[in-house]
């Protein structure tokens, strides 16, 4: 019981630390014409990777490159570019790696389809096990009834 | 097979994945550039030595050249500087220094202090051209053929092995081809 309490305390502490770490993006103030533009900016900078610190997106990163790319996204938004055009701009320069959400294309089929495959394998294993147990259960109940009779 | 061995098997599989992951870890820092075999991004920038002059992509057409992104703030650029100098001494290829996100006075002082290996240095003050080149670290080096197509890119510090195995053979190829 004591151990569980300690566990919860440690868990709470570690989680709260990571929350603080996440909520400190240093961003320059940006002016948008519409609320919609601002919303799109937020989504885009969250879906684009900062290539210097590869496990952060543009919204979270304080690297110089992230600053510049945010400014670039901002400018393209104001110029009326669509989300797809902005992503295309990034992919042309930095490759698919810049996208946190990989596109479905020939070299990512495995990535997208593997979970389905794993699910299928899991279902197979489950089926085999259920059958085995059913047989086992049948035989034991048979024995029991046999004994009783 | 003993079913108690399954957890061990699973564990060994995970260890295998870890080993593979560690093996390819440094490949992640050397991403393939989507710009290979593509035309050089357009640029038209002031020349560091005489800011009144400008140089563009068009004015460099017709000969192979190397584009080396550098800055006086970049420690690794200092580390690769002897290699660039050695390459410049060979006179094998025209070397364009892209001085990006830098103050010109610092850049000029840097070249004076360590020596200037570049045939020309251009000022990309706000780094716009570096974004068009897909540069995300410094230094980065691009080899461009006479038709203005990027044929090779090296990310990070240029080493003599890269010069000898990647850059010089490609330059020689271009000259024999044309």
How many residue pairs from chains A and B have C-beta atoms closer than 8 A?
32
Beta-carbon contacts of residue B42 (< 8 Å; ≥ 6 apart)? B56, B57, B132
pLDDT at A31: 86
Domain ranges of chain A: 1-103, 104-149
pLDDT 10s digits, A119-140: 999 999 999 999 999 888 888 7
pLDDT at A23: 47
pLDDT at A131: 92
Arithmetic mean of pLDDT over chain A: 83
State yes or no: pLDDT of A145 exceeds 70.
Answer: no
A95 touches chain B (CB under 8 A): yes
Q: From residue B97, give the alpha-carbon distance in Å to each of A49, A107, B36, B71, B74.
A: 27, 35, 19, 9, 13
ipTM over the 0.90 cut-off: no
Domain ranges of chain B: 1-30, 31-177
Mean pLDDT within B73-96: 95
Chain B residue numbers with beta carbons less than 8 Å from the beta carbon of A68 are 126-127, 131
> Please, which pLDDT band fits residue B28 given cuts at 50, 70 and 90?
low
> Please, which pLDDT band fits residue B61 given cuts at 50, 70 and 90?
very high
State yes or no: pLDDT of B14 exceeds 90.
Answer: yes
Mean pLDDT within A55-83: 91
A38/B8 Cα distance (integer angstroms): 51
Chain A residue numbers with beta carbons less than 8 Å from the beta carbon of B136 are 51-52, 65, 94
User: How much of chain B exceeds pLDDT 90, in percent?
Assistant: 80
pLDDT at B34: 86
pLDDT at A33: 87
Please work out, in degrees rounded to the nearest 5, the angle formed at the alpha carbon of residue B109 by the alpha carbons of B108 and B112.
90
Quick one: closest CA in A to B41, which residue? A93
A37/A74 Cα distance (integer angstroms): 9
State yes or no: pLDDT of A112 exceeds 80.
Answer: yes
pTM of the model: 0.75
Give, in words, the CATH class of A1-103.
Answer: mainly alpha
Most A CBs within 10 A among B136, B142, B153, B155, hence the mutation to make, goes to B136
Q: Looking at the domain B31-177, which fold is it?
A: Glutaredoxin (3.40.30)
Which of residues A102 and B141 earns the better pLDDT score?
Answer: B141
Tell me the nearest-neighbour CA distance from A148 into chain B, angstroms.
Answer: 33
pLDDT at B39: 94
A73 touches chain B (CB under 8 A): no
Quick one: closest CA in B to A94, which residue? B134
Mean pLDDT within A45-70: 88
B68 touches chain A (CB under 8 A): no
> Please, which pLDDT band fits residue A4 given cuts at 50, 70 and 90?
confident
Q: Are B134 and A93 within 8 A, CB to CB?
A: yes
B6/A140 Cα distance (integer angstroms): 26
Arithmetic mean of pLDDT over chain B: 91
Nearest CB to A68; choose among B33, B35, B131: B131
A67 touches chain B (CB under 8 A): no
Q: Are B34 and A93 within 8 A, CB to CB?
A: yes
pLDDT at A96: 87
State yes or no: pLDDT of A59 exceeds 60.
Answer: yes
């Amino acid at each position: 019981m004591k151990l569980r309490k300690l566990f919860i305390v440690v868990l709470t502490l570690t989680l709260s630390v990571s929350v603080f770490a996440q909520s400190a993006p240093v961003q320059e103030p940006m002016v948008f014409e519409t609320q919609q533009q601002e919303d799109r900016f937020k989504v885009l900078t969250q879906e684009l990777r900062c290539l210097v610190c590869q496990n952060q997106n543009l919204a979270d990163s304080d690297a110089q490159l992230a600053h510049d790319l945010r400014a670039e996204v901002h400018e393209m938004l104001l110029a009326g570019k669509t989300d797809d055009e902005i992503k295309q701009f990034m992919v042309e320069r930095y490759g698919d790696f810049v996208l946190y959400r990989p596109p479905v294309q020939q070299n990512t089929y495995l990535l997208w389809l593997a979970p389905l495959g794993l699910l299928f394998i899991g279902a197979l294993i489950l089926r085999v096990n259920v059958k085995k147990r059913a047989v086992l259960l049948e035989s034991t109940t048979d024995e029991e009834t046999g004994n009783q009779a | 097979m003993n079913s108690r061995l399954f957890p061990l098997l699973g564990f060994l599989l995970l260890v295998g994945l870890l080993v593979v992951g560690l093996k390819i870890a440094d490949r992640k820092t050397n991403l393939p550039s989507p710009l290979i075999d593509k035309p050089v991004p357009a640029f038209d920038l002031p020349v560091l030595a005489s800011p009144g002059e400008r140089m563009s992509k068009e004015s460099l057409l017709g000969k192979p050249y190397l584009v080396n992104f550098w800055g006086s703030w970049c420690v690794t650029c200092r580390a690769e500087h002897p290699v660039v100098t050695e390459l410049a001494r060979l006179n094998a290829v025209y070397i364009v220094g892209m001085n990006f996100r830098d103050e010109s006075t610092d850049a000029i002082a840097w070249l004076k202090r360590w020596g200037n290996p570049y045939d020309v240095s251009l000022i990309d003050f706000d780094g716009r051209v570096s974004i068009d080149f897909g540069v995300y670290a410094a230094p980065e080096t691009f080899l461009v053929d006479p038709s203005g197509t990027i044929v090779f890119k090296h990310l990070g510090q240029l080493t003599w092995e890269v010069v000898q195995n990647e850059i010089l053979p490609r330059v020689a190829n271009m000259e024999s081809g044309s």
